[in-house]
């Protein structure tokens, strides 16, 4: 049994780094300030999480595009984190040999100055998600070629951002409810 | 040359009988087992735990704190059966009834435990209370 341990250690040391780990190392080397971690879910699927500052956001996106010219930009999700506004972008890269590398890029900007660089020149589809961010949470994208609204109606008030959790969000007066007959009958009497 | 690939099928089907269900003249197509139809609410079994209020995605239930029951309006029900699954006393169940069209969206047909029934139930509770007090004194 004593010689079993060294062999397992050797196997551990010689284990080929996975695609995820290789890419995580590359991102770490290129962007030392970014927080990179590889997570694994209970089905063994790995995913890289990258948290970058506002300055590193666009260079990282360009770097990923150079890494894989066919990188697939899936979605960008905006979020209200209290004092900050967050943006999470999901990308799938190197998917020629399945499974591809799933990657989430997260950025944060303070609410006083909610500006991020526009990446629609790198990933053209990003413009749709940026337009949604601009109207839903008030996160402005510098240099976006199209800043029109995407989902909200034209008569919606300008200074209200529906997904904000603070005073700029939806107020109680805007929320309407068709009413339960029990409550309606109670209100009339 | 025009190709008519369906022509042979059409000609064959002309000779067959129609495969339709003439609904108002006949019974509707029978529902399968565990069909999710109109909810049935057994008021006497309800203990007022508010689990159905928590789990309902459509806002069918209103909790009545003074009688510790719920009132239902099925005009909003999406027939997801979550309230039936979560109810600890089986006060709610799904029936096979699905012909629920009405002229009024607040119809009695779509309500369970309406205002009148609540008043009646309150009166009954008060009578029970009085009867208990009388029993205690004597």
Q: How confident is the model at residue A10 (pLDDT cuts 50, 70, 90)?
A: low
Q: How far apart are CA B114 and CA A50, in angstroms?
A: 55
Contacts of A180 in chain B (CB under 8 A): 59, 62, 73, 76
pLDDT of A19 strictly over 90: no
What domains are there in chain B, each with its CATH number?
31-132 (3.30.70.3270)
Per CB-CB distance under 8 Å, the chain B contacts of A183 are 62
DSSP calls for A118-182: --TTTSTTHHHHHHHHHHHT--EEET-S----SSS-TTS-TT--TT-SSTTS--TTT------HH
**pLDDT, tens digit, for every residue of A51-79?**
999 999 999 999 999 998 999 999 999 99
* Distance to chain A for B73, nearest Cα, Å: 7
pLDDT tens per residue, range A145-158: 999 999 999 999 88
Q: For chain B, which ranges sit under pLDDT 50?
A: none
Continuous H helices in chain B: 7-14, 51-55, 82-86, 115-137
Tell whether the model's pLDDT for residue A186 goes beyond 80.
Answer: no
> Which residues have CB under 8 Å from B135's CB, separation 6+?
none
**Contact A182/B106, CB-based, under 8 Å?**
no
Taking the domain A19-164, which CATH number applies? Answer: 3.30.460.80
A187 CB neighbours in chain B (<8 A) are none
Compare all CA atoms of chain A with the CA of B60 and give the residue at the minimum distance: A180
Per-residue model confidence (pLDDT) at position A36: 92
Q: Where are the domains of chain A?
A: 19-164
Q: Please indicate whether, in this complex, the C-beta atoms of A182 and B59 are within 8 angstroms of each other.
A: no
Q: With 50 as the cut, is the pLDDT of residue A189 above it? A: no
The answer to whether the Cβ–Cβ distance between B115 and A185 falls below 8 Å is yes
pLDDT score recorded for residue A7: 54
What pLDDT was estimated at residue A2? 47
Kindly tell me if the per-residue pLDDT of A1 is higher than 50: no
pLDDT above 50: residue A104: yes
């Amino acid at each position: 049994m004593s010689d079993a341990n060294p062999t397992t250690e050797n196997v551990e040391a010689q284990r080929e780094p996975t695609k995820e780990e290789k890419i995580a190392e590359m991102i770490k080397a290129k962007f030392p300030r970014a927080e990179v971690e590889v997570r694994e879910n209970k089905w063994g699927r790995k995913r890289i999480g990258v948290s970058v500052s506002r300055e590193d956001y666009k260079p990282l996106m360009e770097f990923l595009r150079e890494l894989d010219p066919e990188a697939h930009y899936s979605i960008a999700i905006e979020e209200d984190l209290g004092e900050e506004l967050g943006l999470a972008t999901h990308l799938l890269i190197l998917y020629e040999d399945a499974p591809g590398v799933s990657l989430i890029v997260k950025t944060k900007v303070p609410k006083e100055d909610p500006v991020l660089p526009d990446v629609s020149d790198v990933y053209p589809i990003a413009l749709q998600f940026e337009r949604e961010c601009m109207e839903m949470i008030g996160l402005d994208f510098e240099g976006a070629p199209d800043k029109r609204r995407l989902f909200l109606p034209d008569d919606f008030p300008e200074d209200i951002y529906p997904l904000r959790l603070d005073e700029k969000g939806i107020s109680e007066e805007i929320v309407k409810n068709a009413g339960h007959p029990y409550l309606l009958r109670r209100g009339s009497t | 040359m025009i190709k008519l690939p369906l022509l042979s099928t059409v000609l064959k089907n002309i000779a067959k009988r129609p495969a339709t269900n003439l609904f108002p003249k006949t019974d509707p197509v029978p529902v399968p087992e565990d069909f999710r139809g109109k909810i049935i609410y057994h008021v006497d079994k309800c203990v007022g735990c508010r689990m159905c209020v928590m789990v309902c995605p459509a806002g069918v239930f209103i909790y009545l704190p003074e009688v510790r029951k719920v009132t239902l309006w099925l005009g909003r029900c999406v027939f997801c059966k979550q309230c039936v699954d979560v109810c600890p006393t089986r006060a709610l169940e799904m029936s096979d009834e699905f012909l629920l069209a009405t002229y009024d969206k607040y119809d009695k047909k779509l309500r369970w435990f309406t205002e009148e029934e609540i008043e009646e139930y309150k009166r009954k509770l008060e009578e029970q209370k009085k009867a208990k007090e009388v029993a205690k004194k004597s």
